[in-house]
Amino acid sequence: MTWASLLEITFWIPLLSASIRVATPLIFAGLGESVCERAGILNVGVEGMMALGAIAGFLAAFWTGNPWIGFGVAIAVGALAGLLFGFLTVIRGADQIVTGVVFNIFALGLASFVYARLFVSAHSVAQLPSIPVYRVPTLSTLPFVGKPFFAQTPIVYCAYALVPVFWFLLERSPWGLSARAAGENPEAVDSAGLDVWRIRLQATAIGGAMAGLAGATLSIAQVGAYVDGMVAGRGFIALAIVVFGAWRPWGVALAALLFGAVDALQLRMQIGGSIVPGPLLVGLPYLLTIVVVTLAAARAGYPAAINKPYARRRLSRSRRVATANALPAGTRS
């Protein structure tokens, strides 16, 4: 790769196309995590949920021959994983960061174990057929933006569609208002007669489902196989994307596209030859993650109740029991 090649349109169009493809799983994971964090749940277990989605989606697609069944199974597995995380952190009050770290270790190990048990004796790596590209009529022929944006696989178009859906869910729907309130002032939500625990469990289920979809996008749509370590820290990048995107779906999508562009650039630089050492190129997305978190941390307006278990329901019940026991026997109902 030379500096002159950077001025050629033939360099930028494929780079933009690759950036969008690479950003797609980050968009899915980031959208789900933004819902969790706006509801007050810091789901550090995104990495593990993506791994579970990757292996579950791959197996379902491999056995049925239908990639869309694989995506559906990955979403379901991710939602169940999110509910398990929610049970531990919301209902049981476990520390969200510690639980997420342990969940990552468990999920990554489980995905590796399942794949090894099923395919360790296989003579060839199990692979899926590639999903064909769908070219949107007329739009795909537009100069410069046509091929990158409108000549992609259908799962990329799903990412396009989900960004406004999540924007409406969080910013305009009654449930989104309740979820955002649960992340800022759960006491007020409880006082209004809404169930904080239920809202947060729903948020973790949505976050887990989107993480599962992100993992399946890697294994089904991008690689066409399951490989140990294929998530490769993208779950943690999704956490940085949410902060960089200010917890808003449109910002998350743009931040994911930025990270996707850096990742796609380092891949093209490796293929085209570069004076920059290969390990440094591979580390570019992670270096960007560190820079983004460092710069954004100071100005980030984290939800006020994030990573804070809400136990008022249990405390209220105990207070009611204590009050009832303190009353004279003849006045208890």
pLDDT tens figures, 273-297: 665 666 676 777 788 878 877 777 6
Tell me what pLDDT residue 66 has. 95
From 115-129, 136-150, 168-182, the region with the lowest mean pLDDT: 115-129
Helix (H) or strand (E) holding 183: helix 174-184
Q: For residue 332, report the phi and psi dihedrals to the nearest 5 degrees.
A: -75, 140
Rounded to an integer, the average pLDDT of 39-48 is 95
Given a contact cutoff of 8 angstroms between Cβ atoms, the answer to whether 306 and 37 are in contact is: yes
32 closest CA partner among 165, 179, 209: 209
User: What was the pLDDT predicted at 330?
Assistant: 44
CB-based contacts of 22, cutoff 8 Å, min separation 6: 222, 259, 260, 261, 263, 264
When pLDDT is averaged across residues 84-104 and rounded to a whole number, the result is 95
Q: Is residue 3 over pLDDT 60?
A: no
Whole-model pTM above 0.85? yes
Task: Tell whether the model's pLDDT for residue 86 goes beyond 80.
Answer: yes
Average pLDDT over residues 158-183: 96
- Which residues are within 8 A (CB) of 257 and not within 5 positions of it... i.e. 6 or more apart? 19, 20, 23, 27
User: Quick one: average pLDDT of 32-49?
Assistant: 96
Q: What angle do helix axes 249-272 and 234-244 make, rounded to 10 degrees?
A: 130
Say if CB 159 and CB 24 are below 8 A apart: yes
**pLDDT tens, 221-262?**
999 999 888 998 999 999 999 998 889 999 999 999 999 988
Rg (alpha carbons) of the chain, rounded to whole number: 22
Q: What percent of the chain has pLDDT over 70?
A: 85
Q: Which domains does the chain have, with CATH numbers?
A: 4-300 (1.10.3470)
| Mean of pLDDT values over 95-111 | 95
Average pLDDT of the residues in 94-112: 95
Angle at 150 between CA 55 and CA 264, to 5 degrees: 55
Question: How many angstroms from the chain centroid is the CA of residue 275?
Answer: 34
Distance, CA of 113 to CA of 127 (rounded, Å): 18
Q: Could you give the angle at which helices 234-244 and 9-38 cross, rounded to 10 degrees? A: 80
Read off the tokens for 329.
């026997």
